[in-house]
Structure formats: C-alpha cells, structure tokens
Amino acid sequence: MSKILAFGASSSKSSINKKFASFVANKISPEEVLLVDLNDFEMPIYSEDKEAELGIPQKALDFKKLINDCDGIVISFAEHNGSYTAAFKNIYDWVSVIEEVVWGNKPLFLMATNNGKRGGKTVLGAALSRFSLESKFDIPYFSLPSFSQNFSEEHGIADLSLNEELEMQIKKFKNQLKSLLNT
C-alpha cells in the first residue's frame, strides 16, 4: 500500500484540478490518499529579501514534510496564462529553498485539465520539462481536455480512448511506486 500526496495546483475553492487529482489518486491507492488544498499553504510571495527578513515560513516546512512523508505525488495543474498558478509557484519557490530536490526523489504523476480543447497542455509541458530535471523516474503524465464534457465524479472519464491513456499512465506510476518500495 502506497501513501499518495495529491493536489490540484490551484487556489480555486471549486478547483476541477483538485477533483481530478483526487479521482486519480484514489484509483492508485484508495486507502492512503492525502488530498491537500493549496489554500492551506498560503504564504508571503517568495523573495530573497522575505527569506532573509522572515526566514522560511512554517507552512513551507509543513508542505515539505508532506512530500517527505509520502511514497508518491499526484499533481493536476491549472493553467493561468499558459503557466503555473501563482499559488502553486509560490509554494514551489518556498519549498525549493528548503531542499533543492523539491519532490524528494518520489515518483510523480503530472496531469492537467481545463475546459478547453488542449486540457492545460502548455503548463503540463512546462512542469514535465522542469521536474524531469530532478527526477530519477520517467514521469507519467496525462492531459484531460474539455473537463466538463469528459469527466464526472461518479463515472470518471467518459471518452474511452482518454480513459485508456489515463489507465496506462496510472499503471506506469504504480510500477514506479512498487519499484521504490521494493528497494
């Protein structure tokens, strides 16, 4: 059994990415999912001056502890102007000063969704490019376009080919978890 940290990289209270991250994480390890809301980790905007003046906020240390205490991480990215949300980027910046390898060499499953036809592919590509630099794993990823048409919380993904692609990526992630736990 693997402990999965999951979150939607958004500060929206009704985040479709948080719903999607929860859905996928529960498919991976229904007994051990910790679903996090980024609103619980709101901090001053990162800058070297703030770090020197205030030190590292406790919420950044708490977030890093969640990373360290899990076996794998599921992130579904919201896309703001083709990039990360400010809420996610700020947490990422603060955690990166605690430890250079932000995700602690844990298996990552990166996703994105929105109601557009590209499904957040731009932000997903940026995250995949950046996080692959520090990952010892080949990171599984998945983009779900047209969220409202293609997803329901009761039935999951309606489109059979998209669902098949998701299942293939979940299998890849589970194999990474298994290999990590067997070492």
Residues 110 and 124: beta-carbon distance below 8 Å: yes
Asked if residues 133 and 163 have their Cβ atoms less than 8 Å apart, the reply is no
Helices assigned H by DSSP within the chain? 16-28, 48-54, 58-69, 86-98, 121-132, 147-150, 160-181
What's residue 153's pLDDT? 85
Residue numbers of the chain with a pLDDT score lower than 50:
none
Domain total in the chain: 1
How far apart are alpha carbons 13 and 150 in whole angstroms? 21
Full-model pTM: 0.96
Residue-wise pLDDT for 31-54, tens only, equals: 899 999 999 999 999 999 999 999
Give the model's pLDDT for residue 183: 67
CB 43 within 8 A of CB 59: yes
Q: Say if residue 155 is exposed, middle or buried (CB neighbours under 10 Å; 0-12, 13-18, 19+).
A: exposed
For the domain that residue 10 is a member of, what is the CATH number? 3.40.50.360
Token duo for residue 123: 């932000």
Q: What is the pLDDT of residue 24?
A: 97
Residue-number span of the structural domain to which 103 is assigned: 4-181
Per-residue pLDDT tens digits for 75-99: 999 999 889 999 999 999 999 999 9
